[in-house]
Structure 1
Amino acid sequence: MLPTELLMFKIKAGLVEPRRIKPHTNNLKLAATLIATFESHVGQRRSELNEALQALEAGRQDFRVLRGLAHLLSQRGEFEAGGEIAPAAVREKVFALAQSHPPSRHRTAEVLEQAARALSADLPLTGSDLAAALYADLPDQQTLMTFEPLEPLELLQRYDLAQAQGMLYRAYQLVITARRNEPARYKQLLKYLKFFGLMVTVEGDAAYGFTLTLDGPTSLFSSNTRYGLAMAKFLPALLHVTKWDLSAALKPRRDLAWVDPKDEEWSFQLTSEDGYVSHYKPPNEHDSASESGFAERFAKLDTPWLLEREVDLVPVPGGVILPDFRLVNGERSALVEIVGYWRPEYLRKKFALLRKSKRTDVIVCVSERLNLDKAGVDPSDFGDRLVWFKGVLDPKAVLAVAERTAKTA
Structure 2
Amino acid sequence: MLSRDLLRARRSGDGLQALWLTASPSLRELCDALLHLWRSCLGATRAEVEEQLPPIIHRSRSQVVARGLNKIISDAATFSDATDLRALRSAALTASAQALHEQPAQSAEAHRQSVAAALPSGTLPSLAEDPGSLYGDLPQHARLETAPEWSSEGLIDRYNMALAQGLLMGAQSLQVHIGSATVDQQRRVVKALRLHRLLVALSHDDQGCLQLEISGPGAVLDQQSRYGLQLACFLPHLCTLPQWRAQAFTRIPRERDSMAWLRLDNTCPLRGHSHFLGHTPPELQRLHSVLAEKLPQWHCDDSGEILPMANGSLIIPDLVLSHPTAGRWYLECFHRWHAHALDQRLQHIRQGLAPRLLLAVDRHLARKQDHAAALDDPELQHRVCLFRDYPTPTALGKILKHLALPPS
TM class by shorter chain equals 0.5 to 0.7
* Distance in 1 separating the partners of 2:327 and 2:119: 56
Does structure 2 retain, via aligned residues, the 8 Å contact 1:345–1:375?
no
Q: Percent identity?
A: 21
Aligned residue type for 1:31: C
1:272 paired with 2:266, answer yes
Structure 2: distance between partners of 1:95 and 1:210: 63
Query: How many residues in Structure 1 have an aligned counterpart in Structure 2?
Result: 315
Which of residues 309, 322, 330 in structure 2 aligns to 1:316? 309
Distance of 2:84 and 2:147 partners within structure 1: 22
2:194 corresponds to which letter in structure 1? K
CA shift in 2, pair 1:205/1:58, >3 Å: closer
Letter in 2 for 1:283: L
Paired letter, 1:316:
M
Whichever of the two has the greater Rg, that structure is 1
Contact map agreement 2:321 2:329 (CA 8 A) in 1? no
Give the corresponding residue for 1:166.
166
- Counterpart AA for 2:162: A
Q: Distance in 2 between matches of 1:185 and 1:102?
A: 70
Looking at structure 1, the residues matched to 125 and 217 of structure 2 have their Cα atoms a distance apart, in angstroms, of 56
The correspondence of residues 103-122 of structure 1 with structure 2, limited to 5 A, is 106=106, 108-119=108-119, 121-122=121-122
Kept in 2, the 8 Å contact 1:8–1:19? The answer is yes
> Aligned AA for 1:276?
L
List per-residue Cα deviations over 1:145-183 (Å, max 9, x = no partner).
222321211111000111111110110111111134223
Measured at CA, do residues 223 and 148 of structure 1 come closer, stay the same or move farther in structure 2, by a change above 3 Å? closer
The residue that corresponds to 2:239 in the other structure is 239
SS at match of 2:210: strand
**Corresponding residue for residue 36 of structure 2:** 36
What CA deviation, in whole Å up to 9, does each residue of 1:174-229 have, x standing for no partner? 11111342233222222222232211111124615322111279615599555433
Give the 3-state SS of the residue equivalent to 1:202 in structure 2: strand
Equivalent position of 2:397 in the other structure: none
User: Counterpart in 1 of 2:287?
Assistant: none
Structure 1 position 93 matched with structure 2 position 91: yes
Superposition pairs for residues 4-403 of structure 1, below 5 Å?
Answer: 4-80=4-80, 86-102=84-100, 106=106, 108-119=108-119, 121-122=121-122, 125-205=125-205, 207=207, 209-215=209-215, 219-221=219-221, 224=224, 226-253=226-253, 255-256=254-255, 263=258, 265-281=259-275, 283=277, 315-316=308-309, 319-320=314-315, 347-349=328-330, 376=403
| Stretches of 4+ aligned residues off by more than 6 angstroms | 311-314, 339-346, 355-358
Q: How far is the alpha carbon of 1:349 from its aligned partner? A: 1.0
Deviation at 1:56, TM superposition (A): 0.9
Q: Where does residue 380 of structure 2 map in the other structure?
A: none
Q: Which amino acid is the alignment partner of residue 79 of structure 1? A: F
Cα distance in 2 for partners of 1:213, 1:343 equals: 35
Alpha-carbon distance in 2 for matches of 1:239, 1:145:
31
CA distance in 2, matches of 1:105, 1:218: 60
Asked if the contact 1:250–1:266 (Cα under 8 Å) also holds between the matched residues in 2, the reply is yes
Contact persistence 1:203–1:212 (CA under 8 A): yes
Determine the C-alpha separation between the residues in 2 that align with 1:200 and 1:59. Answer: 45
* RMSD (CA atoms): 4.1
SS in 2 for 1:232: helix
Unpaired segments of 5 or more residues in structure 1? 285-310, 323-338, 359-372, 379-409
TM-score (ref. length: structure 1): 0.65
CA contact (8 A) 1:236 1:280 kept: yes
CA 1:20–1:228: 2 relative to 1, 3 Å: same
1:118 and 1:155 map into 2 onto residues whose CA distance is 50
Residue 137 of structure 1, CA deviation: 2.3
Between 24-33 and 219-228, the greater mean CA deviation after superposition: 219-228
How far apart, in 1, do the equivalents of 2:188 and 2:152 lie?
A: 28
Give the AA of the match of 2:329. Answer: R
Once residues 343 and 177 of structure 1 are traced to their aligned partners in structure 2, the CA distance between those partners, rounded to angstroms, is 37
CA displacement at 1:52 relative to structure 2: 1.2
Distance 1:112 1:341 in 2: 69
Q: Give the C-alpha shift of residue 279 in structure 1.
A: 1.3
TM-score norm. by structure 2 comes to 0.65
Instruction: After superposition, give the CA deviation of every residue in 1:311-346 in whole Å (9 maximum; x if it has no partner).
Output: 996743674479xxxxxxxxxxxxxxxx99889999
Kindly indicate whether the alpha-carbon contact (under 8 Å) linking 2:177 and 2:244 is maintained by their aligned counterparts in 1: yes
CA gap 1:39/1:77 in 2 versus in 1, 3 angstroms = same
Change (3 A) 1:201 1:76: same
- The answer on whether the counterparts of 2:170 and 2:217 sit within 8 Å (CA) in structure 1 is no
Give SS of 1:348's match. strand
Partners of 2:401 and 2:222 in 1: CA distance: 46
CA-CA distance at 1:125 after TM superposition: 1.7
SS at match of 1:181: coil
1:126 to 1:202, Cα distance in 2 relative to 1, 3 A: closer
- Tell me the SS of whatever aligns to 1:158: helix
